[in-house]
Amino acid sequence: MFYVRLIFGVLILFSANIYADGMQQAKILESQSLDLPLNSSASMNQLMKKNIESQKLTAYSGVIGTAPKSFTVSSVGGAFEIAPNNLSTYQFFSQTLANDVYYELRLIQRITFDTPNPAIPGLNASDVSNPLGYGITGIFGYNFHPTDTANITPFIRLQAQKDWSPVYSDTRGDHINSVSYVAQLGAKFSFKATPVFAPYVTLRGGLTYSEVDGSFPGVKGAQDNTGILNQYVFVYEIGMATKITKSFAVIPYTQSTSTFNYPDAELNASIARGGLGLSNTVGSVQLYGLKLSYNW
């Protein structure tokens, strides 16, 4: 973890020392867009339009949720994230419009690794088969431009998901399933340091409300149970948008998540006492991700 953050820090410092290149690109875009002829032939108009599109993508930082001022940037792509107990992927489409309104839609999937539950004796990893988690995410925000190369994008993030967390299933019929609804507020801070590199930081937090049900027929004293799990989640993400071409960007990032769990009494009770054994502890998870985006 330390070395990953060190690498990000070095890249950010390196990029900041040559930020003037990014500023110059933005100024070129603005000046050329104002100099277009009003009465040109159709072929000339088409050529000018292509030139404007090229200059727009040159000025674009590659950070999702941003765009050069007064221009629309659309993006499509996907990402994968690896954490200690799961692997997540998502596919997305986003637009930052000329009026600075930003929205993003995601289809999300998660594989929770098959790990035996210590509260259930006599099982090993081969007996566990957790179901696939899936859901949909909507992010809606507004892109501010404090300077030619800096962007601030406050947003609201809404998410609905099934069997994301908590989730469990084994060959004896023991299971925990959940349906969750997420509402978070956050902001993304990005800086186009060079024509290629644009570091960013995202902070967000909010509430996850989960309806949980489960049963453990393989455990003496267990019974079918349902309940509510409330979680307060806070996320810190740092990444580096790297433009491979004008239209294609690769975005490596790392994310730290702190979760405060508040299960109701039915869920908090141990499995042997008729509950589901969900604790009210505070958890912290570090994940690493890679996003690929095509922009136009």
Span 31-82, pLDDT tens digits: 444 444 545 567 777 777 777 788 899 999 999 999 999 999 999 999 999 9
Residues above pLDDT 90, as percent of the chain? 67
Whether pLDDT at 90 is above 80? yes
- CB within 8 Å of 155: residues ≥ 6 apart: 65, 102, 139, 140, 141, 142, 185, 186, 187, 188, 204
Residue 282 contacts residue 262 (beta carbons within 8 Å): no
Rounded Cα–Cα distance for residues 231 and 235 (Å): 13
> Residue 265, SS3?
helix
Q: What is the DSSP letter of 39?
A: S
Q: What is the DSSP letter of 272?
A: G
Strands 150-162 and 168-169: unpaired
pLDDT digits (tens, 9 = 90+) for 231-288: 999 999 999 999 999 999 999 999 999 999 999 998 999 888 888 889 898 999 999 9
Domain borders along the chain are 2-295
Whether pLDDT at 1 is above 60? no
pLDDT, residue 21, reads 42
Class of domain 2-295: mainly beta
pLDDT digits (tens, 9 = 90+) for 95-149: 999 999 999 999 999 999 988 777 777 778 889 999 999 999 999 999 999 998 9
